[in-house]
Structures are given as structure tokens and as C-alpha cells.
Amino acid sequence: NSATLRNKEGFKGRTAQFKNNVCDLEEKGFNNVISSLKVIGAPWVAYHDKHFAGKQRVFQEGEYATLDDKGKFSSLKMIIDDLDNPEIQLFEHAYYQGRSVTLHRETNLHDINFSDIASSHKVKGGVWVLYQHINRQGSQLISFPGEEIPSYFPLSFNDVASHVRPLLPKP
């Protein structure tokens, strides 16, 4: 499992390979410069802020020659959590209030009349990616097993999610 970073697009420029979480890319000389990367094995989450905070994006195994948010990432987390038995409960309001839905698989929230509604959630199992737009587009919110997020307001994600999916274990 590794993430290999570059400070230029197209896998050019300086390089660094990581096999563990990096809470502060500045210490590694790679703050706000990642412009392309390769992921082998476990997926990673890249965050705009240090200590796994701020805007975030998941990178599954593969090669990413260009990035929508290049030059923005400041920390990296490798996903080594159990991906089996995914389950998330979304709530209409903050603090787990209002209408709720429980999901176990990838879902276009328009299909269940829950798009642009969710304000909090509880992850019972798996690692989930929430998307601003359908077809896995737009900004993302990544959440881990057992994690409970009482309010999306601090995350600038309130009434935003239109699509969700669990990361799937390798066959």
C-alpha cells in the first residue's frame, strides 16, 4: 500500500512515496503542491488542511495525472478500515433529527427523495463517500466506520449531498 506524489502534473517533478498517514505534508516538503499521484493498494483520502481536516477527496488505486484541486492538499490518510457490511444512516436535520434513510449500497439520493437534504449522519459500517452531485461529481465528504457527524454546517456540506457510495472491498 502506497501513495506516490508529484509536485507537477503528468507524474513530473519532485516525488515522494508514503506508506503511512501524513498529518502535515509541510514536514515532508509537499504542502500545497501535489499535482499528480499514483495509488497502489488501499485507497487514500487527501485533505486541504493539515491533520485530516477541510475539503477532502478520495483516491482509489490508480494513476491520477491531473487533479481538480492540485496544489491544495496538506494531509493524507490511508484507508485501512474494514469495508465489509457498509451501512450509513442519513438524517434530514442536524443532531440526527427529522426524516432519515438507512443505506447499504451506492445510491443516487434523487431516487429516494433525499437529495440536498442531509444534515447529519451515522456510519454503522464501511467507509462512505458523499458527493455534492450525482455520478460521483462535485465536492466530497468521506466518513469512516463508527463515525457520527452531528452537523454538516462546519463542513460546508449542509443540504448538499446528492449521491453516496461505500468503498467496496477488493474481490
- Positions that interact with Ca ion (CB under 5 A): 119, 159
CA distance 34 to 158: 28
Please, are residues 94 and 70 in contact by the beta-carbon 8 Å criterion?
no
**Shortest spacing between CB 123 and Ca ion, in angstroms:** 18
Q: Which residue is nearest to Ca ion (CB)?
A: 119
- 87 vs 92, which CB is nearer to Ca ion? 92
- 145 vs 150, which CB is nearer to Ca ion? 150
**Shortest spacing between CB 109 and Ca ion, in angstroms:** 12
CA of 33: how far to CAs of 26, 42, 74, 89, 168, in Å? 10, 22, 9, 36, 29
Q: What is the DSSP letter of 159?
A: T
**Shortest spacing between CB 41 and Ca ion, in angstroms:** 36
**Shortest spacing between CB 91 and Ca ion, in angstroms:** 8
Amino acid at 161: A
Question: Which cell is 161 given?
Answer: 449531498
- 84 vs 116, which CB is nearer to Ca ion? 116
- 99 vs 105, which CB is nearer to Ca ion? 99
- 25 vs 160, which CB is nearer to Ca ion? 160
Establish how many alpha carbons lie within 13 A of residue 160's alpha carbon, considering only the half-sphere containing its beta carbon: 19
**Shortest spacing between CB 119 and Ca ion, in angstroms:** 4
